[in-house]
Amino acid sequence: MFRNELKNSRSIDACSSEGFVKTGIVGLDNLVKGFPRGGLIVVKGNPGVGKTAFASSFIYNGITKLNEPGVYASFIEEENSFYQYMNEFGYDLRVFRDKKMFRYLSIPTLLEPGIASFMDFTVEAIEEIDAKRLVIDSFTVINQLFKSDVEARAFLHTLFSKIVKSLGCTTVLIKEESSATGRGDFSYEEFIADSVISLKVDRIEDKFIREMSIVKMRGNIVESPDNCFTLYKGFQVLTETKFPKIIKPVRMTPLPDTELSYSTGLSELDDLIGGYGKGSTILLEINPKVTKEQYRLIVWVCPANFIVKGRPMITLPGMGSTMRDIDLFNDTFSISEEERTKLTKCFLPKTAVEAPRKYVVTYDPVEGIDSLINNLEEAAERLYQINGNPPIIILSIDSLVFNYPYNDVLRLLSRISTWTRKKNALLLLLDKSSHPELTVKLSSIASVHFKLLRKHGCLMFFGVKPRTPLYAVQTNKETPIPKLIPIV
């Protein structure tokens, strides 16, 4: 018999503004105001896609961030195996089991008559620790115990409408799908659910990627229903990458160089590839969907790291760039006027400069490529001699290709690359993939080749040479220095 006596009912109006609870999942709470408390959340997807990670993060973060005890009822995994799997995410749920804030129910395979015992067992666990969150893993196993869909629907109605909601326990129901499941097919449990979240895996080139779709979220207006996620240190939703609005300039803490390499400006990237070799050419291949504000997050940190260590910088920005863009870089990283004059040279078309500045060099494409080559080499040599350090040279390929013939661009890049090797400088090429045949040639001369692309608004980053895993670029409001999050 199902338990009929539910004392001290905590029924909450799940549709009121007070009736929502934060998910606790990193990134997801930026997209939605929360799950309806006492509601049913269906999380579906193929085996291995991350459903258990989602559910366990929902439980763990509920305990640690929101002080909400949780119960995890599994028909699939033995308790010790579950704890070992959770340790991979840094979730030590044994501690909270001992503190009476977590219960794991390892449910043996049942026949239909045993469902009533499962119900009683689950409700007892919820009441024992006053749980506010429940996971059932998985409904697919339970559904197979019933002779018909009608009986399965009756079970759902009894479990969630009469028991779980009366207890005010927000419930995640895991649902397995086969690869053959049609995206347009919706089951009964999805229709009655307050929220439906679909997880899947895909590939970008040869890289593995995970995607989450918010199919249904009752009481929420979801502006970005499709997002990428990772299982790195638990389930994390990767939100749209935006350059933060810096209220107070950030003086970059310099990252150390080595005897053979310069820091990339990102500690995670330094650890991954060991920095940029001195005298090398770096190719950043940028997908056209990536915005200027997004790729700046990767591009700007390296020259900023150069300047704060007294190393010079030369830059020839992309199409449409003006002094406003140069000022934004300098202001963002708190580069002083003295440093701008002493350490930097910026090459801009004459038409883009309204008033002269000491650190701005204007060029006119009408004068030909040799004039630009000579001016670049002269500026680089002069900065080298004055400061005693070789510069970083940043060239945007789109500006060069727009203003000069193809073969002239190759000649310039060959000359500057040769100068870079001789002087142990660093050459950074920004290629927006508008000329694929040029990209192939640039890749052949580059020591390092990275690709930047965008998926569901999130900036993705990976190495072609050397080959690296896929990373998501994520920021916060306080700093323009991003974090690289592995996609695992």
DSSP-derived secondary structure for 80-119: HHHHHHHHTTT--HHHHHHTTSEEEEEPPP--GGGHHHHH
Residue 19 has pLDDT above 70, yes or no: yes
Q: What is the pTM of this model?
A: 0.89
Q: For 104-241, where are the alpha helices, taking DSSP H only?
A: 115-129, 139-143, 149-156, 165-167, 188-192
**Rounded average pLDDT over 169-182:** 78
- Domain 20-238 carries which CATH code? 3.40.50.300
Cα distance between residue 177 and residue 303, in whole Å: 48
pLDDT in tens, 434-444: 788 899 999 99
Share of the chain above pLDDT 70, in %: 92
Question: Average pLDDT over the chain, rounded to whole?
Answer: 89
Residue 182 tokens, joined: 């049609």
Give pLDDT, residue 37: 87
pLDDT in tens, 461-474: 999 999 999 999 99
Confidence of residue 156 (pLDDT cuts 50, 70, 90): confident
Give pLDDT, residue 10: 37
Give pLDDT, residue 185: 57
Cα distance between residue 463 and residue 155, in whole Å: 50
Confidence of residue 3 (pLDDT cuts 50, 70, 90): very low
Residue 7 has pLDDT above 90, yes or no: no
Confidence of residue 160 (pLDDT cuts 50, 70, 90): low
Give pLDDT, residue 2: 37
Give pLDDT, residue 1: 40
**Rounded average pLDDT over 344-352:** 93
Give pLDDT, residue 157: 76
Given this chain, do its domains 20-238 and 261-486 carry the same CATH topology?
Answer: yes
pLDDT in tens, 270-281: 999 999 999 999
Q: Where are the domains of the chain?
A: 20-238, 261-486
Residue 429 has pLDDT above 50, yes or no: yes
Burial 61-80 (b: 16+ CB within 10 A, else e): bbbeeeebbbbbbbbebeee
pLDDT in tens, 65-107: 999 999 999 988 899 999 999 999 999 999 999 999 999 998 8
pLDDT in tens, 135-155: 999 888 777 777 777 777 777
- Provide the β-strand partners of residue 41: 172, 195
For the 261-486 domain, the top CATH level (class) is alpha beta
Give pLDDT, residue 91: 96
Judged by phi (left if over 0) then psi (alpha if -120 to 50, else beta), residue 281 lies in: beta
Give pLDDT, residue 146: 75
Confidence of residue 161 (pLDDT cuts 50, 70, 90): low
Share of the chain above pLDDT 90, in %: 73
**Rounded average pLDDT over 32-48:** 93
Give pLDDT, residue 8: 37
Beta-strand pair 40-45/195-204: parallel
pLDDT in tens, 222-274: 999 999 999 999 999 999 999 988 778 888 999 999 999 999 999 999 999 99
Residue 9 has pLDDT above 70, yes or no: no
Decide which of 219 and 62 is more confident: 62
**Rounded average pLDDT over 335-359:** 92
Half-sphere exposure of 143 (CA within 13 A, CB side): 17
**Rounded average pLDDT over 157-169:** 73
Judged by phi (left if over 0) then psi (alpha if -120 to 50, else beta), residue 290 lies in: beta
Residue 358 tokens, joined: 């000491």
> Collapsing DSSP states into helix, strand and coil, what is residue 20?
strand
